[in-house]
């Protein structure tokens, strides 16, 4: 009479396979949650969470918060705007901000 009991090596093999499969599923779930979290912040004000509106200013698409009035620029857009602004207070502020951003990157 023969018993078809799995060997210890088979048990270890299948346990390792199951562990690896679960690890991959967890990693995929974590990646999907991170992507969903990032997507939930798109076109949202980082300060108050309100939906941003997009406006064009000197050919640059800027995002503006209708709730708190914040203005959000993508990388390089401040330099484009600086080329169009008159020499004045706003230009000096933009120049200072752009300079500090370049130092921090």
- Structural domain boundaries enclosing 97: 53-104
Of 54, 100, 50, nearest to 74 (Cα)? Answer: 54
- Tell me, yes or no, whether 57 and 100 share the same domain: yes
Question: Does 79 map to a domain?
Answer: yes
- Tell me, yes or no, whether 32 and 10 share the same domain: yes
- Tell me, yes or no, whether 63 and 100 share the same domain: yes
pLDDT at 57: 77
- Tell me, yes or no, whether 19 and 59 share the same domain: no
- Tell me, yes or no, whether 96 and 59 share the same domain: yes
For the chain, how many structural domains are there in total? Answer: 2
pLDDT at 34: 84
Question: Does 65 map to a domain?
Answer: yes
Question: Does 46 map to a domain?
Answer: no
Mapping DSSP to helix (H, G, I), strand (E, B) and coil, where does residue 39 land? helix
pLDDT at 100: 67
pTM: 0.47
Distance CA 69, CA 63 (A): 10
pLDDT at 95: 73
pLDDT at 101: 64
- Tell me, yes or no, whether 18 and 58 share the same domain: no
Question: Percentages helix, strand, coil for the chain, rounded to the nearest 5?
Answer: 55, 15, 30
- Tell me, yes or no, whether 30 and 58 share the same domain: no
One digit per residue, the tens of pLDDT, for the chain of length 105 reads 455 676 888 889 999 999 999 999 999 999 988 888 777 767 888 888 888 888 887 778 888 888 888 888 888 887 777 776 666 666 676 677 777 666 655
Question: Does 16 map to a domain?
Answer: yes
């Amino acid at each position: 009479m023969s018993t078809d009991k799995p060997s210890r090596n088979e048990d270890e093999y299948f346990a390792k396979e199951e562990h690896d499969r679960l690890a991959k599923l967890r990693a995929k779930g974590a990646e999907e949650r991170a992507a969903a979290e990032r997507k939930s912040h798109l076109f949202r004000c980082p300060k108050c969470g309100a939906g941003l509106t997009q406006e064009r200013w000197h050919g640059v698409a800027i995002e503006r918060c209708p709730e708190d009035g914040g203005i959000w620029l993508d990388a390089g857009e401040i330099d484009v705007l600086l080329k169009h602004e008159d020499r004045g207070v706003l230009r000096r502020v933009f120049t200072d901000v752009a300079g500090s951003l370049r130092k921090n990157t």
